[in-house]
Amino acid sequence: MIDPLTVLIISASLALLFFKAAKHKMRAPGQFSAQLAAYKLVPLSLLPGVARLIPAAEMAVFFLILMPFTRSLAAVLAAVLLTFYTSAMAVNLFRGRDKIDCGCSGHSQKLSYWFLLRNIALIISSGLLTMPSTSRALVWADFLLLALMLAVLSCVYLLIEQLVLNQTFSESERGSHG
């Protein structure tokens, strides 16, 4: 049994995350399908369909996870999508193709083990949403905490992206000095 505040924090954060993910994919569909093609996992004939399906599914997660009665459905969908991304990244990392564009956000980012860890944390948290929650009346303090936690989690997310970017820098410097 988990507290309703935890449910709110997780679902609001996941909603934010999926909205951001879907937005950049919908804004630049060509770029996304090229990023997807670089993973070399989806057959070329299916590529346009899959490239359209993924942002639509992400948008669906965003809407469904915010409503209490569709929350667990959205959580399952989110977990499935995240598992799909994580295994796609893992496969390419093990293949040694870590120089491809991750497609995680609007700007170019190479694959990193950091993303695997981050995604596993995200999968576990979407899993938590499928568990039954206790019921209690939420008070003002809960909403204040919700806002603060959202800010913390968003900052952690940005922090991970920045750290991966820094890693790219230091690696290419090492590379250029032999």
Partner 1 sequence: MDNYLTEIVILLTLVVLILVIAVFALARQIGDLHKRLATADSVISEARPKVGELAPFLSMVTLNGSPLEFGGPHEAPQLLLFVSPTCPVCEEMVLTAKSMARSERLALIFGSDGGEMQKHTDYVKEMDIEDYPYVLSLELRKKFQVSELPYAVLIDEHGVLRSKGLVNSREHLKRLLESNRSGYPIQDCVVQGELPGEQAP
Among 70, 72, 83, 108, binds partner 1 (CB under 8 A): 108
Per rule CB under 8 A, is residue 98 in the interface with partner 1? Answer: no
Amino acid 14 reads L
Q: Whole-angstrom Cα distance, residue 59 to residue 53? A: 10
123 CB neighbour count, 10 Å cutoff: 18
Helix or strand holding residue 20 (H, E): helix 4-27
* 104 CB burial (10 A radius; 0-12, 13-18, 19+): buried
Quick note: the x/- pattern for partner 1 over 54-93, rule CB under 8 A, is ----------------------------------------
- Smallest distance from partner 1 to CB 130, Å: 25
Interface segment toward partner 1; rule CB under 8 A; list 12-20, 64-72, 74-82, 138-146? 138-146
Token pair for 91: 């496969």
The answer to whether 120 and 70 are in contact (CB under 8 A) is no
Per rule CB under 8 A, is residue 45 in the interface with partner 1? Answer: no
For partner 1, the binding residues (CB under 8 A) are 28-35, 37-38, 99-101, 108, 110, 141, 144-145, 148-149, 151-152, 155-156, 158-159, 162-163, 165-166, 168-170, 172-173, 176-178
